[in-house]
Amino acid sequence: MSLPSLTLNETHDPALRSWVESANAEGCPFPVQNLPYGVFRRAGSDEAFRAGVAIGSQILDLQAAQAAGAFSGFDDLARRAAHAAAEGATLNALMALDTAAWSALRLALSRVLRTGSAHQTELVACLVPQADAEHALPAAIGDYTDFYTSIHHATAVGKLFRPDNPLLPNYKWVPIGYHGRASSIGVSGQQFRRPLGQTKAPDAETPSFGPCKRLDYELEVGIFIGGGNALGEAVAIEEAETKVFGLSLLNDWSARDVQAWEYQPLGPFLSKSFASTISPWIVTLEALAPYRCAWTREAGDPQPLPYLDSPSLRETGAFDLQLEVLIQTRAMRDAGQAPQRLSLSNFRDSYWTVSQLVAHHTVNGCNLRPGDFLGSGTQSGPGPGEAGSLLELTGGGKQAIALAGGEKRIFLEDGDTIVMRAAARRDGLPLIGFGEAAGTVLPARSLP
């Protein structure tokens, strides 16, 4: 079956240019072939947050564009989608539509933002510079599920605790996940206090309470659900991506010492619920269609059960999406030094795919709803510089990382900012960027 998200059309033409000149610059993350959605307002204003589309260095205000009649000449499907996008402070109404409506709006946006558009004059006034904007979460997130899809991460972490048996028996058979905390998800720029919690040293008889000492980040891909499914109805893997509105970046901050004490037997709790940071832009699956690649499973590994397998999965189920993590310490910031790269990996190395996560999540009849959010789990690659967490990069806290200016890190310190970036790249095609997911650690609050 050919999914709508895999179909190439005129919006993907690499020759397209925009009348927004900054969108045509070499390496611009937001060319006219991207058109990601977010929620914004002018920074420091009391304006209502509203939906926008990134184009070059600008944001097209969808509410203003709708009022200017930019979509009046398009078909009913595109007009309905434009109205849904413009009507509120989140993208949930647009997410609740289907792939045909999302595609119709993307086509309309592409046409009104291309060079030669008859709508250029009225839409110039609907642009807001990204530098002048602040963002809110793009959706009201009802539920959040975090998965564990990188076998490289799972193996590396497993070796720290179970050197002779790093992977548990179920890992290669079932996508592992746990229910996360939606209320503490924030958008890029999030600042949060170092969490407090119980920890227990290996040589201690009783646990202690205080600030986390082993604070870490996790590089993940976020998956925003669009049209949901009814309670009791499973989503077949062939249809799974029709339920996905788009992808974002996710930093699932983790208190490793709290996690080590609390996670057995039920899994993470307070070690994960204090903060999660996402990028402000959602890149649609349609924008990523030219950057799909084959998904394979090692011949010696168990092959997926039938409900997690399909020909289209094998042909184009993976995403060639480069993922980067950088750090900027307080000292680096004060000295005017740019963030320093910690790792570079790729989403195509994920053991489980987006469609498999949706199919598995719903196979028991669980109902997903527009705006629900899935995390891919830490994305680590096979190489030593591809680890998506400090836990892996430092060998469980045994090997410090040398930073610019002579600083070292084993785990995060107060004042550290972690920046995550993602980009789809392919020769002959424009770069498709996600913006940044940046978050900063503040000192812990006083002990109660």
State how far the alpha carbon of 45 is from the alpha carbons of 38, 242, 279, in Å.
17, 37, 21
Mean pLDDT per 10-residue segment, the chain (448 residues) = 62 98 97 98 97 98 97 96 96 98 98 97 97 98 96 89 86 95 98 97 94 98 95 98 98 96 90 97 98 95 97 96 98 96 97 98 98 97 95 95 94 98 96 98 90
Q: Among 368, 432, 381, which residue's Cα sits nearest to residue 152?
A: 381
Alpha carbon 161 to chain centroid, angstroms: 28
Q: Among 64, 55, 5, which residue's Cα sits nearest to residue 33?
A: 55
Structure tokens at 246: 């788009």
Is the four-CA dihedral 203, 209, 213, 218 of positive or negative sign? positive
- 215/194 Cα distance (integer angstroms): 8
Note the pTM of the prediction, 2 decimals: 0.96
Look at residue 323 in the predicted model and tell me its pLDDT.
Answer: 98
Annotated binding site: 146, 148, 162, 218, 220, 252, 259, 263, 272, 276, 378
- 38/61 Cα distance (integer angstroms): 10
Fold match flag (4-136 vs 144-442): no
Annotated binding site for Mg(2+): 252, 272, 276
Look at residue 1 in the predicted model and tell me its pLDDT.
Answer: 33
Annotated binding site for substrate: 148, 162, 259, 263, 378
Q: Domain segments of the chain: what residues? A: 4-136, 144-442
Q: Are 199 and 261 in contact (CB under 8 A)?
A: yes
- The CATH number given to 4-136 is 2.30.30.230
**Could you give the 3-state DSSP secondary structure of residue 166?**
coil
Q: Are 424 and 324 in contact (CB under 8 A)?
A: no
Look at residue 3 in the predicted model and tell me its pLDDT.
Answer: 42
Distant-in-sequence, close-in-space partners of 297: CB < 8 Å, separation ≥ 6: 303, 304
Structure tokens at 143: 């539920």
User: How crowded is residue 444: how many other Cβ atoms within 10 Å of its Cβ?
Assistant: 16
Is the four-CA dihedral 346, 377, 374, 220 of positive or negative sign? negative
- 230/279 Cα distance (integer angstroms): 29
Q: Are 415 and 406 in contact (CB under 8 A)?
A: no
Q: What is the DSSP string of 300-356?
A: TSPPPPGGG--HHHHHH-EE-EEEEEEEE-HHHHHTTPPPEEEEEEEGGG-SS-HHH
Q: Are 429 and 323 in contact (CB under 8 A)?
A: no
Annotated binding site for Ca(2+): 146, 218, 220, 252
- 69/66 Cα distance (integer angstroms): 5
User: How crowded is residue 407: how many other Cβ atoms within 10 Å of its Cβ?
Assistant: 17
Look at residue 293 in the predicted model and tell me its pLDDT.
Answer: 96
Q: Among 254, 91, 118, which residue's Cα sits nearest to residue 184?
A: 254
Q: Are 34 and 430 in contact (CB under 8 A)?
A: yes
The CATH class of 144-442 is: alpha beta
- 17/333 Cα distance (integer angstroms): 36
Residue numbers annotated as active site: 153
